[in-house]
Amino acid sequence: MIQVLYFSWLRERVGTGAEEIDPGTAATAGELIQNLVVRDERYAAAFEDVSAVRVAVDQKMVDLDAPIAGAREVAFFPPVTGG
Amino acid sequence: MTTSPKDGPPPVVSVQSRDFDIGSEIEGLTASDRNIGAVVSFTGLVREMTGQGAISAMELEHYPGMTERALTEIAEKANARWPLQGIRIIHRFGRLDPGDRIVLVLTASPHRKAAFEAAEFLMDYLKTRAPFWKKEDGPEGAKWVDARDDDDSAAARWHNPS
């Protein structure tokens, strides 16, 4: 099981900020997204434009094709707007 | 919250909802080192006028844990690149009103050039790497702020210093 986190409008569209997810056959963050979008339309709405989605694996920003094997935490969020 | 020398050096990074005092932060950063010749401070404020008109408030969300990690990493990069005697980064989260302080970056160095450059580098990197998201309350309701392309190019120019 992986702790999956959502921030900003991704959190609002999914309807939760954090959940435990069985990654199943997903080997990368991008494949995890593909598994989620067929699960429920909330995910389909959140991940409708994957180019607007950034990902962090164990709190490090990575590309969508980064492996998630052994990861404790995967976070999805839009490009950051702090400062 | 003031920092006096007997409290020891201030932390490099703070992520907090409360406001900060710029003067006491500079004092805390410089008090223990008499060889600091330059301190540069950058303060970011909540602007009232934005793309959607005048906003009444802003909510800043962040990723607890990763935020502190990302900011610490950015500070380490700056330390590796410039001869700095001190860095202080404070970033607030939660509800903020127009005019409120959001972010403070302090850099201390023997000479001004390194302090100026490092402060700019820290802000450029923070803008693109620190996991914060702004939601503005304005005439069109509550709206998530879009990331800006020029923030990306500002950060990218540090990859190829001239």
**Predicted local confidence at residue B62, as pLDDT:** 98
**Predicted local confidence at residue B10, as pLDDT:** 80
**Predicted local confidence at residue B120, as pLDDT:** 98
Helix, strand, or coil (residue A8): helix
Q: Does B5 have pLDDT greater than 90?
A: no
Contact present, B99 and B132 (Cβ < 8 Å): no
Separation CA A41–CA A38 (nearest Å): 7
Separation CA B127–CA A66 (nearest Å): 23
Contact present, B112 and B40 (Cβ < 8 Å): yes
What is the Cα gyration radius of chain A?
A: 11
Min CA distance, B26 vs chain A (Å)?
Answer: 19
**Predicted local confidence at residue B149, as pLDDT:** 87
Residue B98 binned pLDDT confidence (cut-offs 50, 70, 90)? very high
Q: Does A32 have pLDDT greater than 80?
A: yes
Query: B42 in contact with A at a CB cutoff of 8 Å?
Result: no
Q: Chain A contacts of B44, Cβ < 8 Å?
A: 83
**Predicted local confidence at residue A30, as pLDDT:** 97
pTM value surpassing 0.95: no
The per-residue pLDDT for range B100-119, each reduced to its tens digit, is 999 999 999 999 999 999 99
CA angle B68, B152, B85 (to 5 degrees): 45
- Sheet containing B101-109: which strands, arranged edge to edge? B13-16, B86-92, B101-109, B38-45
ipTM of model over 0.85:
yes
CB contact under 8 A, A7 and B63: yes
Query: B87 in contact with A at a CB cutoff of 8 Å?
Result: no
